[in-house]
């Protein structure tokens, strides 16, 4: 039982084995522990005597480091080995004689000698330990002296460093003051920049090199659904109110190419903006992102629109004046197409003539089409063309992008020319449409209302010109026919007279001149019944009533010639109403004087 060799010392509770071991074993245990910890040696002490329960026992201390695998380092084991039957000098009351111990002197001497030997050994060990300690102390002293010198050197270096630090501290104070001034200048510049951006009223978004939002101006909130938490969010994830689906792709293109992009676009409220994208560059000129800006150009667009409308009105007025004097309809149509392309700044213009039957159009005039098409190209007049659909819709048809159009099919004429957008209006006539007028562009385009109105105005001007040219052509045909008729009338034997109840004689043929003796110059403007002293079979008013009511009157009249002869004529009066509502009378007189004389002579002979 190990507890036989341990004791509880007075004072605080301790776990130190050297304090709790029996005093008789303490010195040997200290020496053995030193060898175990310092030299990693195992040792066995000589027989040590210790008094236990009034009996002296001999035991050996086995002390050594523990080197078992898995056991923690820094531990030593102490084994107390007692010799069997070694109880020495057991003292009892029976062994004492007259107050003196009755003991074997030999055992006592032996014990004293052994203790002396052990004491010498311990002293030798202590001496060795002392020498070792002295050597170690000497070495430590040398090391301490060296360390002291190093510390002195370090102290000098620290003193130097202290001076340097003080100098650096002074420099840092100066630099700190300069940095403070720079920070104030930077804050002032930042404030100036913020106020400048706010005063310019420009929507701007700053993107990083990976197209994430770094910052944005307040006006950007008008077009993009942004909040402060969106900083760092991918630009492609942000929704907006612009009519453009590829702004993120444009930003990526600017980042990759380093080139600027500028476009004119509209938002959902039809407001106009200039979209600009350009690389964000650092002060060193290195690209480090993209800047997206939006400038409100509604006022500019409004002014441009007003100027464009003014030009359109001037063009319409000039075209109207030209239509009034032009004698060549084809030339007028081509001129109108060219002016329309110029004013609307567009690539194509077409003027389609609706052919008889109403199933097809003919491209009678135009600009921008392949050579040989104008005058020859045929376009269907049904829903397989924009023009055909326009005739059915009876209103202007506007197409922003024909690729998304579902109301009608695109004809080959448009597809072959890469057309994407356009306007078509009807050219109306009094009896139905003459055809269609259209403009087209190769790019998707938003047309303004005044663009549509201008095109319809051109169509209306052309319609009036077509009506005038057709009327003039018809009039020329009638005049030619009339001249032929006049030539035939002039050579007729009958007297043919055209007179107006208000203006007198308007026409006097050669037959009338030969019959009555008055040439045309003498007769024109005269009143017929006054010039010829006409004798009517019934009152003139009655004849005029019949003529007005029935449109014609037939009978016999008595006329007097220029040389005073009396003539009897068979007459036919025909009332003719002109296009302007005025009326004239066509009077055809045939001389029946000889027939009348024969009739009188025959009657007289019969009476005789």
The pTM score is: 0.47
What is d(CA 225, CA 240) in angstroms, rounded to the nearest whole number? Answer: 6
Between 396 and 123, the higher pLDDT residue: 396
Residue whose structure tokens are 């326009």: 390
Higher pLDDT, 39 or 549: 549
Asked which of 93-107, 166-180, 412-426, 570-584 is least confident by mean pLDDT, the reply is: 93-107
Cα–Cα distance, 411 to 389 (Å, whole number):
11
Res 30 pLDDT > 90: no
Helices (H), ranges, 385-509: 386-393, 412-415, 449-490
pLDDT at 110: 64
Q: Distances from the Cα of 240 to the Cαs of 158, 208, 269, in angstroms?
A: 64, 19, 12
Residue-wise pLDDT for 275-302, tens only, equals 999 999 888 888 889 999 988 888 887 7
Judge whether residue 103 has pLDDT over 60: no
Average the pLDDT over 167-191 and give the result. 88
Return the structure tokens found at 56.
């002296």
CA distances from 420 to 347, 412, 441, 528 (A): 11, 13, 6, 71
Name the range with the highest mean pLDDT among 150-159, 365-374, 443-452: 365-374
Is a pLDDT exceeding 90 seen at residue 606?
no
Surface-to-core class of residue 511, CB atoms within 10 Å of its CB (0-12 exposed, 13-18 middle, 19+ buried)? buried
Q: Does the structure show a pLDDT above 80 at 419?
A: yes
- 548-580 pLDDT, tens digit per residue, is 999 999 999 999 999 999 999 999 999 988 767
pLDDT higher than 80, residue 193: no
Query: CB neighbours of 46 closer than 8 A, spacing ≥ 6?
Result: 60, 114, 117, 118, 121
* Res. 371: pLDDT tops 80: yes
Please determine, for residue 87, whether its predicted confidence score (pLDDT) is greater than 70. no
Average pLDDT (515-533) is 92
Q: Identify the pLDDT of residue 536.
A: 92
* pLDDT (0 to 100) of residue 490: 67
> In this model, does residue 588 exceed pLDDT 90?
yes
Q: How far apart are CA 411 and CA 396, in angstroms?
A: 18
State the pLDDT confidence band at 537, using cuts at 50, 70 and 90. Answer: very high
- Identify the pLDDT of residue 109: 60
Tokens of 69: 């695998």
Q: What is the pLDDT of residues 50-64, one digit of tens each?
A: 888 778 888 888 999
Range 451-454, long-range pairs (CB < 8 A, 24+ positions): 451/308, 451/344, 451/423, 452/396, 452/398, 452/423, 452/425, 453/312, 454/309, 454/312, 454/315, 454/316, 454/340, 454/343, 454/344
Top pLDDT among 313 and 368 is at: 368
Mean pLDDT of the chain: 84
Residues 463 and 447: their CA atoms lie apart, in Å, by: 23
- Asked whether the predicted pLDDT for residue 97 surpasses 60, the reply is no
pLDDT at 89: 47
| For residue 484, pLDDT beyond 80 | no
Q: What is the pLDDT of residue 111?
A: 63
Percent of the chain at pLDDT > 90 equals 26
- What domains lie within the chain, and their CATH numbers? 2-103 (3.30.450), 201-296 (3.30.450.20), 302-474 (3.30.450.40), 491-607 (3.30.450.20)
Inter-residue contact 57 to 86 (CB < 8 Å) = yes
**To which residue do tokens 């057991």 refer?**
90
Cβ atoms of 291 and 279 closer than 8 Å: yes
pLDDT band at 83 (very low <50, low <70, confident <90, very high): confident
Cα 471–Cα 475–Cα 478 angle in degrees, nearest 5:
140
Out of 88-92, 461-465, 557-561, give the one with best mean pLDDT: 557-561
Higher pLDDT, 558 or 308: 558
The pLDDT-based confidence of 486 (bands split at 50, 70, 90) is low
Question: What is d(CA 342, CA 336) in angstroms, rounded to the nearest whole number?
Answer: 10
| Cα(417)–Cα(204) distance, integer angstroms | 39
CA–chain centroid gap for 397, Å, is 26
C-alpha to C-alpha distance for 195 and 199, rounded to whole angstroms = 6
DSSP state of 67: -
Instruction: Compute the average pLDDT of residues 510-527.
Output: 92
What average pLDDT does this structure show over 107-112? 61
Q: Which two tokens stand for residue 522?
A: 């003498």
Question: What was the pLDDT predicted at 106?
Answer: 57
Q: How confident is the model at residue 607 (pLDDT cuts 50, 70, 90)?
A: confident
Considering only 130-134, 213-217, 356-360, 399-403, which range has the smallest mean pLDDT? 130-134
Q: For 318-339, write each residue's pLDDT tens digit.
A: 888 887 777 788 888 899 999 9
Could you report how far apart the first and last alpha carbons of the chain are, in Å? 208
Residue 9 or residue 252, greater confidence: 252
Q: What is the pLDDT of residue 98?
A: 41
The pLDDT, as a whole number, for residue 296 is 85
Q: What percent of the chain stands above pLDDT 70?
A: 92
Residue 101's pLDDT band, with cuts at 50, 70 and 90, is very low
């Amino acid at each position: 039982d190990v507890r036989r060799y341990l004791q509880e010392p007075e004072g605080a509770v301790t776990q130190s084995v050297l304090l709790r071991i029996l005093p008789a074993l303490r010195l040997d245990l200290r020496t053995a522990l030193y060898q175990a910890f310092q030299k990693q040696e195992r040792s066995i002490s000589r027989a040590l005597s210790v008094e236990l329960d009034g009996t002296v026992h001999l035991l050996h201390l086995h002390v050594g480091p523990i080197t078992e695998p898995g056991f923690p380092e820094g531990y030593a084991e102490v084994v107390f080995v007692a010799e069997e039957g070694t109880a020495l000098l057991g003292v009892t009351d029976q062994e004492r004689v007259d107050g003196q111990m009755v003991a074997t002197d030999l055992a006592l001497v032996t014990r004293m000698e052994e203790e002396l030997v052990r004491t010498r050994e311990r002293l030798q060990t202590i001496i060795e330990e002392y020498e070792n300690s002295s050597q170690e102390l000497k070495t430590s002293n040398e090391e301490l002296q060296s360390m002291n010198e190093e510390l002195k050197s370090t102290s000098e270096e620290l003193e130097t460093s202290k001076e340097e630090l003080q100098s650096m501290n002074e420099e840092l104070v100066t630099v700190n003051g300069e940095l403070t001034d720079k920070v104030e200048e930077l804050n002032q510049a930042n404030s100036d920049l913020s106020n400048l951006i706010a005063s310019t009223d420009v929507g701007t978004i700053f993107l990083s090199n990976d197209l994430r939002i770094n910052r944005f101006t307040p006006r950007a909130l008008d077009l993009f659904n942004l909040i402060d938490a969106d900083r760092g969010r991918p630009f492609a994830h942000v929704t907006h109110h612009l009519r453009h689906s590829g702004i993120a792709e444009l930003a990526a293109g600017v980042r990759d190419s380093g080139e600027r992009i500028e476009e004119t676009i509209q938002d959902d409220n039809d407001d106009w903006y200039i979209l600009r994208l350009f690389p964000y560059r650092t002060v060193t000129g290195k690209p480090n992102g993209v800047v997206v800006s939006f400038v409100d150009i509604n006022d500019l667009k409004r002014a441009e629109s007003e100027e464009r409308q003014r030009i359109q009105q001037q063009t319409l007025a000039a075209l109207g004046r030209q239509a009034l004097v032009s004698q060549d309809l084809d030339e007028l149509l081509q001129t109108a197409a060219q002016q329309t392309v110029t004013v609307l700044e567009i690539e194509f213009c077409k003027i389609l003539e609706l052919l008889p039957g109403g199933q097809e159009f003919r491209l009678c005039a135009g600009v921008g089409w392949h050579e040989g098409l104008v005058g020859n190209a045929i376009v269907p007049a049904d829903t397989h063309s924009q023009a055909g659909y326009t005739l059915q819709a009876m209103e202007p048809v506007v197409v922003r992008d024909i690729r998304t159009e579902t109301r009608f099919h695109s004809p080959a004429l448009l597809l072959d020319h890469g057309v994407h957008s356009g306007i078509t209006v009807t050219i109306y006539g009094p009896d139905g449409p003459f055809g269609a007028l259209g403009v087209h562009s190769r790019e998707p385009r938003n047309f303004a209302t005044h663009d549509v109105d201008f095109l319809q105005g051109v169509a209306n001007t052309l319609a009036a010109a077509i009506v005038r040219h057709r009327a003039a052509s018809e009039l020329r045909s009638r005049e030619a026919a009339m001249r032929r008729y006049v030539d035939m009338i002039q050579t007729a034997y009958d007297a043919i007279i055209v007179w107006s109840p208000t203006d007198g004689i308007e026409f006097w043929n050669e037959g009338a001149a030969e019959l009555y003796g008055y040439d045309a110059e003498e007769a024109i403007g005269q009143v017929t019944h006054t010039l010829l002293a006409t004798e009517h079979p019934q009152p003139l008013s009655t004849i005029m009533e019949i003529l007005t009511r029935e449109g014609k009157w037939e009978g016999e009249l008595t006329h007097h010639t220029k040389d005073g002869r009396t003539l009897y004529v068979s007459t036919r009066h025909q009332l003719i109403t002109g296009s302007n509502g005025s009326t004239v009378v066509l009077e055809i007189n045939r001389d029946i004087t000889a027939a009348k004389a024969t009739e009188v002579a025959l009657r007289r002979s019969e009476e005789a």
